[in-house]
Structure 1
Amino acid sequence: MSLTPAIHALLPLSEEKSSMLTSLLDGLDTAALHWLSGYAAGLAVRRPAELHVLPTPAAAAQNAPILSIVYGSQTGNSRHLAEQLKREAEASGLGVRLLRAGEYPLRELKNERLLYLIISTQGDGDPPDDARSLVEHLLSKRAPELKQLSFAVLALGDSSYPKFCETGRLLDERLAALGATRALPRVDCDLDFERDGKPWLIRALNSAREQLKPVAAVASIKTLRSVTGTAVFGRDNPFRAEVLASQRITGRDAQKDVRHIELSLADSGLTYSPGDALGVWPQNPPQLVNELLQTLKLDGASEVEFEGRRLPLARWLSGEREITRLARPFLATHAAHAGSSELNRLLAPASRDELAPLLRDYQVIDVLRQWPALWSGEELIASLRRLTPRLYSIASSQKLVGDEVHLTLGTIDYQAFGSRHVGAASNFLATLDEDGRAPVYVEANERFRLPVDASRDILMIGPGTGIAPFRAFVQERTAINASGRNWLFFGEQHFASQFLYQLEWQEALKKGQLHRLDLAFSRDQAQKIYVQQRLREQGREVWDWLENGAHLYVCGDATRMAPDVHTALREIVIEHGGKSSEDADDYLARLSQQNRYARDVY
């Protein structure tokens, strides 16, 4: 291996050190290179402190087997767990590589020896977008025999959906059917994924240590002097962001209450890119907490101990436990408490279709009222799911707004079963006064990024609050003087009361920052019109844009809108591209693999 003078000039090393690096790398196999990469990354993480490093002979890493960790994530939870496992494996001296499912080289599957899959299920049974190609390959006839493979699957999902952790289950069963051996039984995690996920990580690491021979002389890194730095804010350590503005941006007569919210990130050190999400840790509505306590005749001031923590019951229900969303485990426990044959029947596999509306529409209070039962405070807290953060697509570019972050928030507020129902996070944010504070963190979304080449055109499809990231996209492209064109498809119910950011879009059109805008207001005429119909109407130009290298983005409802838009795109490819149905599917799949068709759906 040799480096040209031009490459030497680009390295942040002296010529002497570059030559030493070249000599070290010469002859190393893939396993050794992976190990060396992880080792160097570990040093970089610790570099702010003064380090004493005991070097490991390069020969010890040669021919070492590799642990491959592959994750598929829609909201970042699988990625967080996968990154944690990688760090622990590297610290144990194991050769390890971490790959997003969409980037996994499928041709290498037949040569894998140890593979850990950490994968979520989106909605009711769908794989995350970045894992579709991997899932389709494994479930197809093209999948190879995998008798040499040892594997384990950690599945993430939401038990309020009937097909809970479906993607992980399918992959676990398919890998076994292809001849692979389970290193560990599959574990299914609910939205409070840490409870079951972190113990799985410990078992997975121990299993990997048994199967792979750690590098004999693992480098020892000792911190000789600690360095005080600024706090790093994240999911487990959120920043309390001050509310700068909170404004309703739908008309008073609109059925939907949509808010534009601006939060300050000053002094947080938090940064974000267009396409990222803001995680918000909510507080449950006080009125709902009181109703639960009254219904169960429990004292909110009484202290309850759970998992080593002791808090008043009202505090558990306000900020620690999920009470606006139902989970199947709670229903099962409540069915036993209530002695309800009806609930037990609904929970049976044969009643999956009947159970779905209950999981979707009911809150905990509705179940307690319809099927009364006695609960102690300790039993209730142990049975309820942990409160989890909500993710909102960021509606601003930091190049324009600086130390702020903007959200487009649709509030959940409706009447059902004789009482008012509100969402935990949307009610929490919408009722915060200016100068109030919200615990937040940034959740990176690498799957939903603007093209690196700013001359590329982009098509953005974002009905309702799905418009949020596209406000950020246009702001960003304006700030960097991108030469590519911007085409937005937006839809809502009524033009007069629900055209979100109307003045901003009209101004962007005048200034040439937005080049095309197609609108669909479903209830302004007798026949409902949706964004997918506007896509079909402009099918020839949509096809031309795609064929000329445009990137396509979809944001919004995953249940109906996203599948309908995908169907419309498929029809456009068939009609205007002259392709068969199968070729149209392959065309859209290739766009996705090339990161030219990205979805942020929920």
Structure 2
Amino acid sequence: MKRGPSRAVLGNIAMMALLAALAWLLLRLHLQEDWWPGAPTASHWRWAAGSVVAYAAVCALLWWRGRPRDDATREDGQAPLLLVWASQTGFARQLCERSAEVLRAAGVSVRVRGLHQVDATLLQQTTRMLLIASTTGEGDAPDHALPFLRRVMPQALALPHLQYGVLALGDRSYGHFCAFGHQLGAWLRRHGAHPLFDTIEVDNADPAALRHWQQLLGQLGGNVTELPDWTPAQYQPWQLQSRRQVNAGSPGAATWTVALVPADGVLPAWQAGDVVEIGPRHGSDEVDAWLALHARDGNAQVEGQSLRDWLARSHLPVLPDSVHAGDAALVAALKPLPHREYSIASTPAEGQVLLLLRRLLRPDGTPGLGSGWLCDHATLGGRIDLRFRSNPNFHAPSPDAPLILIGNGTGIAGLRAHLRARVEQGAARNWLLFGERTAAHDFHFGDDILGWQRAGMIARLDTVFSRDGGVHRYVQDRLLAELDTLRQWVRDGATILVCGSLQGMAPAVDAVIEQALGHEGKEALIVAGRYRRDVY
């Protein structure tokens, strides 16, 4: 279908017409010989010169503030991460600058560029890149991206060294939703680059998608996710039904299962592959210690809630002794704690949201924000702030299609939900590959998995435990030994779902899949939606 000119083009035409009209009016003044009877005075010349100098100073300031910023190369020789924006209205550029702030706060060196400033040389010098790309009209690129489309994309580049991620901005009411972001991702894959994670689609600045992007930025920064959410979630009240450690004696960090139920008893619907966002809180002892230190009454009411409750959900401020702000002013200045994302390990038919999480410890030995709240501080039967986030990129195929599930560590949570859903649907052509530390302590959901295998609902099961010895140490090693089996399952129409570590397992499994199918074969799976990842 032929489309008319974009709104940006029409706006430019209108502006040119306005400028032409103004030029004509000024020209008419010049054609009148007596429009200004005298020569300019000295003061007029000074004002004119000052105006020119002021204009030049403003232009220089704007250029200085908008110039590309490059952080120094790290001591280990790693080049800065490249953050690229393609923006029509400025929103993508704003998100790019906020992303740079998150990464810099985590100690990551970055360089920020508009897509029009990216050339082949820069791509060949970069090992990690994140793109934030808007789509305009019916699938068009932003105007400033045209030099990249015309000069860089036609080139036959080899980019096997490049890892990238894409945040695609769009409007689902248009026919080609997030088309330009997907176009960039497909072009990079065709030239050998490797995606760090599946493209994240953002519909009209969807807060949940942006929070997910911020979570991934924290992972790239080394699990530094203490910054407040850009758009805080609107949570629903749930209750902590049960929790228990499931890997006592493991050489790894303590791993817990946590079961949650809705406070109102009404269980919402979700699909296998979806995630929940948990609003963590500080432990009561930590809040009470802060209140005592700053001589505050935790029971004081501010906007219908106690000061203690406000503090529990926020970063605890460090107030100088000279500051004696009122409670209302204090609450207004609080920054809410960021959410934590967890894969759902259960289906609605089980009547609960089941999570599997590793209890992380900070360098000082205190538990992490999210895991500390769920594993240590929250009381049984107490309130848990929870919000669902649909994750369509990790939903399962038709029950008639074979399914290959690959994961490690707590990534088994998302895979367990898919297996449970397949059991409920009577779909038995399932192949699970799972890796952890020890079989005796770290075979999470092992009873369920072995039971489903005995019942004929898991056609093939491959487990690898790195601390137990054996021929294969990691799940990618086991997959590499089964290339022929992998090819056959793919020929039979299988979809591959990968859940687990962003930094280690996921790229290694990706390399094995490419070795088995070739670059074009892997690309065809991605385009068909038969290779999907949920990594963290």
Return the TM-score normalized by structure 1. Answer: 0.51
Contact 2:427/2:457, CA 8 A, preserved across alignment = no
Given that 1:283 and 1:318 are in contact with CA atoms closer than 8 Å, whether structure 2 keeps it comes out as yes
Identify the residue that residue 357 of structure 2 maps to in structure 1. Answer: 409
Instruction: Provide the rounded CA distance (Å) in 1 between the counterparts of 2:289 and 2:472.
Output: 39
1:566 maps to 510
Partners of 1:461 and 1:534 in 2: how far apart? 11
Match of 2:185 among 132, 136, 144: 136
Residue equivalent to 1:298? 294
1:275 to 273, 276, 281: 273
In 2, Cα distance between equivalents of 1:424 and 1:288 = 12
TM-superposed CA distance for 1:434, in Å, is: 3.5
Q: Which amino acid aligns with 2:524?
A: R
SS of equivalent to 1:509: helix
Check 1:249–1:387 CA distance in 2 against 1; reply closer, same or farther (3 A cut). Answer: same
Give, in angstroms, the shift of residue 556 of structure 1. Answer: 1.3
Distance 1:273 1:192, change over 3 A: same
Using the alignment, how far apart are the partners of 1:533 and 1:562 within structure 2?
Answer: 12
The one-letter code matched in structure 2 to 1:460 is: L
Rounded Cα–Cα distance in structure 2 between residues aligned with 1:404 and 1:450: 20
Counterpart for residue 528 of structure 2: 594
In structure 2, do the counterparts of structure 1 residues 262 and 126 end up closer, same or farther at CA, with 3 Å as the change threshold? same
- Offset, 1:261: 2.1
The alpha carbon displacement at 1:406 in A equals 1.4
Paired residues, what number? 364
Say if 1:106 and 1:134, in contact at 8 Å, map to a contact too. Answer: no
TM (norm. structure 2) is 0.56
Higher Cα Rg: structure 1 or 2?
A: 2
Match of 1:457 in 2: 402
Q: 2:243 aligns with which of 246, 255, 267?
A: 246
Distance 1:153 1:550 in 2: 33
- Residues 68/519 of structure 1: CA separation in 2 closer, same or farther (3 Å cut): farther
Aligned pairs for 1:50-449 (under 5 A) are 108-109=139-140, 126-128=164-166, 133-136=182-185, 157=214, 192-194=229-231, 235-236=233-234, 238-265=235-262, 267-268=265-266, 270-289=268-287, 298-301=294-297, 315-321=309-315, 385-398=335-348, 400-401=349-350, 403-413=351-361, 416=363, 419-431=364-376, 432-449=378-395
Instruction: Return the alpha-carbon distance in structure 2 between the equivalents of residues 528 and 375 of structure 1.
Output: 61
2:438 to 494, 499, 510: 494
Secondary structure in 2 matching 1:508: helix
Change in 2 beyond 3 A, CA 1:556/1:103: farther
Runs of 5+ in structure 1 lacking a partner? Answer: 1-27, 32-66, 72-77, 79-100, 116-123, 143-151, 165-189, 196-234, 324-367, 574-583
C-alpha displacement of 1:127: 1.9
Contact persistence 1:102–1:133 (CA under 8 A): no
> Displacement, 1:585?
3.2
Return the match for 1:468 from 413, 438, 442: 413
What is the deviation of 1:137?
A: 5.4
Q: Distance in 1 between matches of 2:137 and 2:244?
A: 48
What displacement does 1:312 show?
A: 7.2
- 1:381 Cα deviation (Å)? 7.8
Partner Cα separation in structure 2 for residue 425 and residue 493 of structure 1:
23
- Helix, strand or coil: the match of 2:381? coil
The answer on whether the counterparts of 1:322 and 1:386 sit within 8 Å (CA) in structure 2 is no
| Structure 1 residue identity aligned to 2:268 | L
CA deviations 1:126-167 (Å, max 9, x no partner) are 42588874333577999xxxxxxxxx9998636757879xxx
CA contact (8 A) 2:260 2:353 kept: yes
Q: Is this contact kept in 1: 2:466–2:474, CA < 8 A?
A: yes
Whole-Å separation in 1 of the counterparts to 2:532 and 2:384: 29
Separation in 2, partners of 1:162, 1:473: 27
SS at match of 2:244: strand
Q: 1:548 is matched with which residue: 492, 501, 523?
A: 492
Structure 2 CA distance for partners of 1:520 and 1:114, relative to 1, 3 Å:
same
Q: Deviations over 1:420-439 (max 9, x none)?
A: 22122222222344423312
Q: Is the 8 A contact 2:472 2:478 kept in 1?
A: no
Amino acid across the alignment from 1:592:
I
Identity %: 23
Does the CA-based 8 Å contact 1:68-1:114 persist in structure 2? no
Find out whether 1:530 has 2:474 as its counterpart. yes
Q: Distance in 2 between matches of 1:303 and 1:435?
A: 22
Give, as a single letter, the amino acid of the residue that structure 2 aligns with 1:538: E
RMSD: 4.8
Query: Whole-Å Cα distance in 2 between the matches of residues 253 and 393 of structure 1?
Result: 22
What is the alpha-carbon distance in structure 2 between the residues aligned to residue 523 and residue 140 of structure 1? Answer: 35
Conserved? CA contact 1:322–1:387, under 8 Å: no
User: Partners in 1 of 2:300 and 2:472 — Cα distance?
Assistant: 52
2:313–2:336 CA contact under 8 A, matched in 1? no
CA contact (8 A) 1:244 1:264 kept: yes
Name the counterpart of 2:459. 515
Query: AA paired with 1:518?
Result: D
Q: Secondary structure at the match of 1:275?
A: coil
Letter in 2 for 1:135: L
Instruction: Please tell me the residue identity of whatever aligns with 1:320.
Output: S
Residue 589 of structure 1 aligns to a residue whose secondary structure is helix
* Cα 1:137/1:537, change in 2 over 3 Å: closer
Q: Deviations over 1:398-441 (max 9, x none)?
A: 2x31x322111222236x3xx42212222222234442331222
Provide the C-alpha distance between the structure 1 equivalents of 2:507 and 2:221, rounded to a whole number of angstroms: 18
SS in 1 for 2:526: helix
Counterpart-to-counterpart distance in 1, 2:190 and 2:448: 50
- Three-state SS of the structure 1 residue aligned to 2:337 is coil
Counterpart Cα distance in 2 of 1:593 and 1:500: 32
Give the aligned residue type for 2:521: Y
Q: What SS does the aligned partner of 1:109 have? A: coil
Task: Give 1:393's aligned amino acid.
Answer: S
Larger relative CO (CA 8 A, sep 6+): 1 or 2? 1
Counterpart of 1:257, as a letter, is: A
Q: Secondary structure at the match of 1:562?
A: helix
Unaligned segments of structure 2, at least 5 residues: 5-87, 93-98, 100-131, 146-161, 169-177, 192-203
